[in-house]
């Protein structure tokens, strides 16, 4: 049996994480993690830098993405692993999302300003740097300007869905997100289902399995702010393992580390065994070739 731990769900400065891709790989090395995947929201822009550093540091870096989707008013995240970051379909998606997120940030800032709150676009784009922009960067500027005390306070008050300052992003359906991952040559896993309502997971899993879902994230970092007790969190993880078994899905796992100033889940905190990655690789090798860009040719 293989030993060691991995973390297949991390965010970098390419989306709303606080660490650069390079720094994430170095941290993983220091923590003794065998492999990681940077799964930024709607972008793969961290992947090449992370892989370069991975080769230097002997940490395996799996290409990844986390695609936001909507299902009946629920925000459902789909993780894509082993995606081809150069595939035209993925490049076009990433570019479109980057622009849409920018327009949305401008609108949120406009609404905050018209309510007299001190914030401007430039500061938000500066906080995002070269990464895609989201509510986390807006929250950081609100913290810096003394409007709220923390990023999570900004989410709880001004930036939550339902607030007058909230602007929704146009998102694909979860089936479309799975299909996109497949067309980009990768395999898809349902992200952090423990944070979805049970009745939603019960409907999503069969539906997405039919659409070609390969995995389910059974292990994820415990976040006390997410509304579950530590005990309930563990119980939900075990239930998700049940879905994996029942539907023949590979269990995946990761912390969803964004930097501790964003949320309280540290890198490695999901304690994911390296065996999960071996099983994920086997699923990748055996994936349905019909939708991959190479038309089913074996990949090295």
Binding residues (CB under 5 A) for Fe ion: these are: 16, 77, 191
Which stretches within 214-286 are classed as H helix?
Answer: 230-247, 274-285
Tell me how crowded residue 29 is: count the other CB atoms within 10 A of its CB: 16
Q: Residue 263 binds what, of ligand AMP, Fe ion, Zn ion, none (CB under 5 to 8 Å, by partner type)?
A: ligand AMP
Residue with smaller CB distance to Zn ion, 15 or 175? 15
Pairing of β 187-190 and β 74-81: antiparallel
Does 223 bind Zn ion (CB under 5 A)? Our answer is no
Q: Which does 81 bind (CB under 5 to 8 A by kind): ligand AMP, Fe ion, Zn ion, none?
A: none
Confirm or reject binding of residue 40 to Zn ion (CB under 5 A).
no
Size of interface with ligand AMP, in residues (CB under 6 A): 11
Contacting range for Zn ion; rule: CB under 5 A; set: 85-93, 117-125, 173-181, 249-257: 249-257
Is there binding between residue 135 and ligand AMP (CB under 6 A)? yes
Residues 57-116 that bind Zn ion (CB under 5 A): 66
Measured from the CB atom, the residue of 123 and 277 that comes closer to ligand AMP is 123
Cα separation, 164 vs 115, in Å, equals: 10
Check binding of 119 to ligand AMP (CB under 6 A): no
Name the binder of 74 from Zn ion, ligand AMP, Fe ion, none, CB < 5-8 A by kind: none
69, 77 in Cβ contact below 8 A? yes
Q: Which does 275 bind (CB under 5 to 8 A by kind): ligand AMP, Zn ion, Fe ion, none?
A: none
- The dihedral region occupied by 72, where left means phi > 0, alpha psi between -120 and 50, and beta the remainder, is left
What's the min distance (Å) between Cβ of 267 and Zn ion?
A: 13
Q: How many CA atoms lie within 13 A of 218 on its CB side?
A: 20
What gap in Å lies between CA 271 and CA 7, rounded to an integer? 8
Residue 134 within binding range of ligand AMP, rule CB under 6 A: yes
Asked if residue 85 binds ligand AMP (CB under 6 A), the reply is no
| Cα 73 off chain centre by | 19
Output 112 or 262, the one with its CB closest to Zn ion. 262
Restricting to residues 174-233, which ones interact with ligand AMP according to CB under 6 A? none
Residue 169 DSSP label: P
Strand order in the sheet with 5-10: 250-254, 215-220, 187-190, 74-81, 60-71, 35-38, 5-10, 272-273
Q: How far is the CB of 76 from Fe ion (least distance, A)?
A: 9
Residue nearer to Fe ion on the CB measure, 77 or 233: 77
Q: Of 63 and 259, which has the nearer Cβ to ligand AMP?
A: 259
Task: Give CA–CA dist 39/66, Å, rounded.
Answer: 5
- Residue 152 contact among Fe ion, ligand AMP, Zn ion, none, beta carbon within 5 to 8 Å by kind: ligand AMP
CB contact set of 7 (below 8 Å; sequence gap of 6+) = 28, 33, 36, 37, 253, 254, 255, 257, 267, 268, 270, 272
Strand 74-81 versus strand 60-71 pairing type: antiparallel
Shortest Cβ 128–ligand AMP spacing (Å)? 10
- Catalog residues that contact ligand AMP under the rule CB under 6 A: 16, 41, 134-136, 151-152, 155, 258, 262-263
Residues lying near Zn ion in the complex (CB under 5 A): 66, 256
């Amino acid at each position: 049996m293989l030993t060691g731990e991995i973390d297949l769900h991390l965010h970098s400065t390419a989306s709303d994480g606080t660490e650069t891709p390079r720094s994430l790989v170095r941290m993983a090395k220091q923590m003794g993690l065998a492999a990681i995947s940077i799964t930024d929201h709607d972008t793969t822009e961290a992947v090449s830098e992370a892989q370069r550093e991975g080769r230097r540091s002997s940490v395996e870096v799996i290409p990844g993405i986390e695609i936001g989707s909507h299902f009946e008013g629920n925000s459902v995240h789909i993780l894509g692993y082993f995606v081809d970051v150069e595939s035209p379909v993925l490049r076009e998606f990433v570019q479109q999302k980057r622009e849409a997120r920018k327009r949305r940030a401008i609108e949120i800032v406009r609404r905050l300003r018209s309510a007299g709150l001190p914030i401007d676009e430039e500061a938000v784009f500066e906080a995002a740097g070269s990464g895609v922009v989201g509510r986390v960067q807006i929250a950081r500027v609100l913290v810096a300007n003394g409007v709220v005390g923390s990023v999570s306070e900004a989410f709880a008050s001004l930036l939550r869905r339902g607030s007058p300052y909230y602007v929704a992003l146009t998102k694909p359906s979860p089936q479309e997100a799975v299909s996109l991952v497949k067309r980009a040559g990768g395999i898809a896993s349902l992200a952090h289902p423990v944070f979805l309502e049970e009745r939603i997971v019960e409907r999503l899993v069969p539906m997405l399995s039919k659409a070609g879902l390969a995995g389910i994230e059974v292990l994820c970092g415990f976040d006390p702010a997410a509304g579950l007790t530590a005990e309930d969190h563990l119980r939900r993880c075990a239930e998700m393992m049940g879905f994996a078994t029942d539907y023949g899905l590979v269990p995946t796992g990761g912390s969803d580390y964004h930097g501790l100033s964003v949320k309280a889940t540290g890198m490695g905190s999901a304690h994911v065994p390296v065996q999960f990655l071996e099983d994920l690789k086997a699923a990748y090798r055996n994936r349905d070739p019909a939708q991959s860009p190479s038309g089913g040719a074996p990949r090295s």
